[in-house]
Structure 1
Amino acid sequence: MRFRHRAAAGFATLLLPFAGMVGLASPAQAATEATATYAKTQDWGSGFEGKWTVKNTGTTTITSWKVEWDFPSGTSVTSGWDADFSSSGNHWTAKNKSWNGTLAPGASVSFGFNGSGSGSPSNCKLNGGSCDGGTVPGDEAPSAPGTPTASNITDTSVKLTWSAATDDNGIKNYDVLRDGAKVATVTGTSYTDSGLTAGTDYSYAVQARDTADQTGPVSGAVAVRTTGGDDGGDPDPGDKVNLGYFTEWGVYGRNYHVKNLVTSGSASKITHINYAFGNVKNGQCTVDDTYAAYDKAYTADQSVSGQADTWDQPLRGNFNQLRQLKAKYPHIKVLYSFGGWTYSGGFGQAAQNAAAFAKSCKAVVEDPRWADVFDGIDIDWEYPNACGLTCDTSGPAAFKNLAQALRAEFGKDYLVTAAITADGSNGGKIDAADYGGASQYLDWYNVMTYDYFGAFNKTGPTAPHSPLTSYNGIPQEGFNSAAAIAKLKAKGVPAGKLLLGIGFYGRGWTGVTQAAPGGSATGAAPGTYEAGIEDYKVLKNTCPANGTIAGTAYAYCGNNWWSYDTPATIAGKMSWAKNQGLGGAFFWEFSGDTSNGELVSAISNGLK
C-alpha cells in the first residue's frame, strides 16, 4: 500500500523532458576533422545532466566516433542515452550506437548522461585525437552480413548460418541477435542457439564487429518457429486474469522495458497489463512522463519488433513498444492506470465532477496517436474517504459515483477496473467507501493484499507484509488477504470480480535478533532503491527464505528480517484464490521478477 508508489519518488530527478535529446542519423563513411564539446544541461545538487556534442568539421564523412574523458574522484556517470558508456577507474568512454555513428561534413550528434558528484570532464579525446578540431583517425565500419539461414530446427534449438561481412581492416566477430537482443558472439559464420521453447516464434539477425571494435549495420532477419508446442504459447489460465503492472519510470534507473516481458517469457503467460501511472491534475486525467510514454526512441536491439525508431515516426516510447507487444501477443489487453500512491491527491477534485473527469480520461485513452494500444482504464485511488499520502474527505459515495461515470463514458466495450485497499479491519478503509455499490460498474478490483506490515513501523514487530491469513500474534487483526476478501464479498462484491494481489518484492527490518516473526527492530533494512524494500530477484539470492507464516515466506540473515512471496507460496495463494472463486490475480510489478519470469510463471501455473 506504500511501496508501489513511493518507488516513483526515487527517480524524480530522472523524470525529465528528454524530448529532442535523441538524434537519429543516417548511415555514411569516415572523416578527417571533428570536435567534441561538453555542456552541463541540468544540476540538481546531488547530481547533474551532461551532454556531449560531436561535430564533423572536416570535408569527409565520419563512420564512427568515440569520446573519452576523465572525471575527478567522486564524479561518475549513473545512466546515459544515445551512446554506449564504459569506464576504467575515473576514465570514461562513450561510443556511438549503431544508428548514430555516421556524420556527414558539417553534421553533429549529441549524447547525454545523468551523473553523480559535481566534477567536470578533462583530458578529452575524440577517436584518440584532439577534441578541439584537429585531425581525427577513423576507418570504415564493417558491412552488413548476409541474412541468416535457419536449419536443423528442433523443439529447443536452431542452427544459423550467414555469409561473411567485409571490412577494410578485417572482421573480429559477429553478434547473434535473437528478437533484437544479443545471445552470442562468435568468430565464425554459424551458430546453434539452444534452450529454446517448443512451438515458439523467434527472429534472428547478425551484426559484424571489426578489429577496431566498430559494429556495422544489422543483417536482414530470419523468422524461426521451433517444432512441438501448442498453439503459439498463449496463456491457459482458464478464465482467470493474470495481470501485471508495468511502471512508466522503470525505463530509467531500473532499465526495465516492454521488451523484457518478451525476453523473460512473461508475455506468453499474462493476460493483462496495467500501465502505471497516469496523473490526476485539476480533476482531469493526464499523461505523466511524456518522454517515457511516447517520445523515447528505441534502437533495434531494445525494441519488441527488432526495428529501430526513427526521429519522425508519430509514436515512440512505451506506448509504441506496447503496440508492438500486442501485435506479437494479441491475447494481451492493456489498461491505462491513473493515480497510485503519489498521484491520488487529485481524485477528490475529480469526484466533484465525475462526468467531466471520465470524459478527460477517455480523451487520453483514445488519443489518436495510441488509440489502439489501450483496452480500458484502471483507477488507483488511495484512498477514497480515507488517508493515504494525503487524506480524502469526499464521502463514502464518491468512489461509486466515479465508477458509475467512468462506465457511462467508456461503455461496455472497454475494461473499467480499480485497484483498492485490502484493509479488512473493522472500521478500516474498506468500510470507508461503497465498494459493494461501485462493483456493478467495474470489471474487477485489484485488491492490494500486500504492504500490511513493514519498516514504516521502524521498531517492528517483524511481520509478513503480505499474509494470506491471520495468525497468532499478528500485529493488526484484519490486515490479511482472507479478511479483506471476506469483507468485500460480504459487501456484495462478486468473488469473480476480485483479484488477489502479489508483491514481487519484500519488506524488511534491520537490527533484528530473532528469526521468528514478532521480533523488535531498529529500522529499515538496506534496499537498492529504498530502505526497507527489495526486489524478489535480489532477495532470493542475498537472503533466501528460511520460513513461512500465514501463507507467505520470511527470511532471517545477519540481523536483517525480510518477508516476501516465492514460487512455492504463490502456488499456495493461487490455490486459495481458486477455491475462493476469485477472478484471478495481479502483481506489482514486472521488474521485481527474475530475468526468466519465475514469479509470473508461478501465478500462471497456479491459476490453471
Structure 2
Amino acid sequence: MHIPHRSRLRALVSAACTAALGASLLAGAGTATAAAPAAPQAKAGSKIVGYFTEWGTYDRKYYVRNIETSGSAARLTHINYAFGNVTGGKCAMGDSYAATDRAYTAAESVDGVADTWDQPLRGNFNQLLKLKKKHPGLKILWSFGGWTWSGGFGDTAKNPAAFAQSCYDLVKNSKWAGLFDGIDIDWEYPNACGNSCDTSGREAFKNVMAALRSKFGGSALVTAAITADASGGGKIDAADYAGAAQYVNWYNPMTYDYFGAWDATGPTAPHSPLTSYSGIPKAGYNTSATIAKLRGLGIPASKLLLGIGFYGRGWTGVTQAAPGGTATGPAAGTYEQGIDDYKVLKTKCPATGTVGGTAYAKCGSDWWSYDTPATLATKMTYKNQQGLGGTFFWELSGDTANGELIRAIH
C-alpha cells in the first residue's frame, strides 16, 4: 500500500464495513461502451517505475539529486511522484512548499546550481525538470491518492468528467510545463475498505479511469496502483479492474504488504511472498496468486507490472526463526514501528533464510522479511516468464546509496 506521511499501518476492516459493502460487491460487471483513445505502449518487460515521495525530502533528506547520485536515474524508465491529494471531487496539491517553493542549495541540487529567491519555480518540481534534462527518456507521472488521501475518491465517482478536468488542469499547469507525462491513480480501494471504506459501486473505478483517458488523450500516460488481494471475494473482485484496463497504459498491483505487524502477535510471515508456501497464513496472499487472478480476468500480462517493496516488515518477541512464529508486537523501526528500509535492514538484521521466493531474518527477538538482490533475481525471472510489462517499486529512498536493489531489477 502507498501511504503518505508517517503512517503505513493497515486499517483493520470491520465486519460492519464488510457487510455494508456486500451488495455492491455482488453487483454485476458492466462492459464499457465508449471507445478509448489509443494508449501509447512501451516494450513489455522494459518498464522500471519508482515512487518518489514528496515528504521524503524532510526527515529522510532524500532529494531528487539522490536519484541521480545513486545511479537510479539511469535505470528508471518512469518516476511516480507521490502524492497529490484528492478532495472535493478534484485533484489538488499535496504539499506545495515541498513541490514548488523550497529553495535548494548548490550541494542539494541535481545540477549543482542553487535556487534563487526570484525564480518562478523551485522545490521538487524544478529539481525533477533538471533530472529530465539529464535523462531525456525519463518519464514522470503525478500520483494521486495513496493510503491517507484515498478517502476523496468516492466523490470523484459522482462526476468523473469534472474530476478528470481538475486533474488535467493541475498536471498540465504551465508553471511546470513539460514535467509530467501523465497521471497515476492510487485509489485504496474502490468499493472496498482501506484507511476508510468506499461504497461508490463496482463500476466507479472504471468510470473514473475512462474519464481520465478521455481528457488526457491517447498520448499521455494513465496508470493505476491497484490492490493485490486475490483472496476469494477480496478487493480485486470489488471493482471492475478488467473493464478499466482498456483505459490504462498499465496497472501496478501492490504485491507487498500481504502480512505485517498490524497482526501484532503474528504469525510471522514475509510481507511480499512471490509464491505460496506451506503454512502461509492466508490463501491468495502472494504475488503469483495476484498476477494469476488479474490475468484470469483477461487483463493482458503486458499491462501488469511486478510490485517490489524497498523495505521490510517485522515483529519483536519472536523465538522461532522459521516463518509462522508468534510475536509480542511490531519491531522497532527508524520512522515507525514494524517497518524499516532495506538499506537499514541489510546491516541491522541480515537475511537468514528464504521462503516463498523472498527473504526473512531473525536477529535477537526480532523477525523481519524483505527482498534482497538475490530474491529480486528470482522475481525478475518470474516477471520475464509471465511476460509482465515491467517492475515498479515503493520507494526510492529505501534503497542503498549506490542503488543495490534497482541494480538487481535492472
**TM exceeding 0.5:** yes
Shift of residue 7 of structure 1?
Answer: 4.2
Contact persistence 2:44–2:302 (CA under 8 A) = no
The AA in structure 2 aligned to 1:511 is G
2:342 corresponds in structure 1 to: 536
Contact persistence 2:145–2:186 (CA under 8 A) = yes
Shift of residue 443 of structure 1?
Answer: 0.2
Matched position secondary structure for 1:556: strand
Matched position secondary structure for 2:163: helix
Contact persistence 1:7–1:529 (CA under 8 A) = no
Cα distance per residue 1:227-282 (max 9 Å; x no partner): xxxxxxxxx99851100000000000000000001110110011000000000010
1:565 corresponds in structure 2 to: 371
Matched position secondary structure for 1:369: helix
1:379 pairs with 2:377: no
1:5 corresponds in structure 2 to: 3
What aligned pairs does 1:61-76 form with structure 2 within 5 A after superposition? none
Matched position secondary structure for 1:417: strand
What aligned pairs does 1:71-220 form with structure 2 within 5 A after superposition? none
Shift of residue 305 of structure 1?
Answer: 1.4
1:419 pairs with 2:225: yes
The AA in structure 1 aligned to 2:400 is T
Distance 2:104 2:329 in 1: 41
Select the structure of larger CA radius of gyration: 1
The AA in structure 1 aligned to 2:90 is Q
Shift of residue 500 of structure 1?
Answer: 0.6
> 1:439 aligned to 229, 234, 245, which one?
245
Shift of residue 9 of structure 1?
Answer: 4.4
2:37 corresponds in structure 1 to: none
> 1:327 aligned to 123, 127, 133, which one?
133
Contact persistence 2:86–2:150 (CA under 8 A) = yes
1:367 corresponds in structure 2 to: 173
Cα distance per residue 1:283-305 (max 9 Å; x no partner): 00011100000000011111111
Distance 2:117 2:103 in 1: 8
1:511 corresponds in structure 2 to: 317
Change (3 A) 1:237 1:598: farther
Cα distance per residue 1:384-429 (max 9 Å; x no partner): 0000000000111000000100000000110000000000101000
Contact persistence 1:450–1:465 (CA under 8 A) = yes
1:402 pairs with 2:208: yes
Higher strand share: 1
- How high is the TM-score relative to the length of structure 1? 0.61
> 1:255 aligned to 61, 68, 73, which one?
61
Cα distance per residue 1:504-524 (max 9 Å; x no partner): 000000000010000000000
1:494 corresponds in structure 2 to: 300
Aligned-pair identity in percent equals 68
1:483 corresponds in structure 2 to: 289
Matched position secondary structure for 2:84: strand
1:580 corresponds in structure 2 to: 386
Cα distance per residue 1:15-35 (max 9 Å; x no partner): xxxxxxxxxxxxxxxxxxxxx
Cα distance per residue 1:26-74 (max 9 Å; x no partner): xxxxxxxxxxxxxxxxxxxxxxxxxxxxxxxxxxxxxxxxxxxxxxxxx
Distance 2:4 2:321 in 1: 28
1:53 corresponds in structure 2 to: none
1:288 corresponds in structure 2 to: 94
Distance 1:419 1:238 in 2: 18
Cα distance per residue 1:60-115 (max 9 Å; x no partner): xxxxxxxxxxxxxxxxxxxxxxxxxxxxxxxxxxxxxxxxxxxxxxxxxxxxxxxx
What aligned pairs does 1:40-55 form with structure 2 within 5 A after superposition? none
Shift of residue 441 of structure 1?
Answer: 0.3
1:208 corresponds in structure 2 to: none
Change (3 A) 1:6 1:297: closer
1:545 pairs with 2:347: no
The AA in structure 1 aligned to 2:157 is A
Shift of residue 496 of structure 1?
Answer: 0.2
The AA in structure 1 aligned to 2:3 is H
Shift of residue 540 of structure 1?
Answer: 0.2
> 2:259 aligned to 450, 453, 475, which one?
453
Distance 2:360 2:216 in 1: 43
Distance 1:521 1:361 in 2: 44
Cα distance per residue 1:528-550 (max 9 Å; x no partner): 00000000000000100010000
Distance 2:112 2:5 in 1: 30
> 1:273 aligned to 79, 84, 99, which one?
79
1:590 pairs with 2:399: no
Change (3 A) 1:238 1:354: closer
Matched position secondary structure for 1:582: coil
Contact persistence 2:202–2:238 (CA under 8 A) = yes
1:244 pairs with 2:244: no
Unaligned runs of 5+ in 1: 11-235
Matched position secondary structure for 1:335: strand
Distance 1:556 1:474 in 2: 18
Change (3 A) 1:358 1:241: same
Cα distance per residue 1:187-217 (max 9 Å; x no partner): xxxxxxxxxxxxxxxxxxxxxxxxxxxxxxx
The AA in structure 1 aligned to 2:300 is P
- How high is the TM-score relative to the length of structure 2? 0.91
Contact persistence 1:461–1:518 (CA under 8 A) = yes
Distance 1:487 1:514 in 2: 32
Matched position secondary structure for 1:576: helix
The AA in structure 1 aligned to 2:148 is T
Question: Would you identify which runs of 4 or more consecutive aligned residues in structure 1 move more than 4 Å?
Answer: 236-239
Distance 1:237 1:528 in 2: 38
Distance 1:486 1:351 in 2: 28
Shift of residue 371 of structure 1?
Answer: 2.0
Higher helix share: 2
Contact persistence 2:44–2:390 (CA under 8 A) = no
Superposed CA RMSD in Å reads 1.2
2:149 corresponds in structure 1 to: 343
Distance 1:598 1:237 in 2: 24
Distance 2:394 2:233 in 1: 26
Shift of residue 8 of structure 1?
Answer: 3.6
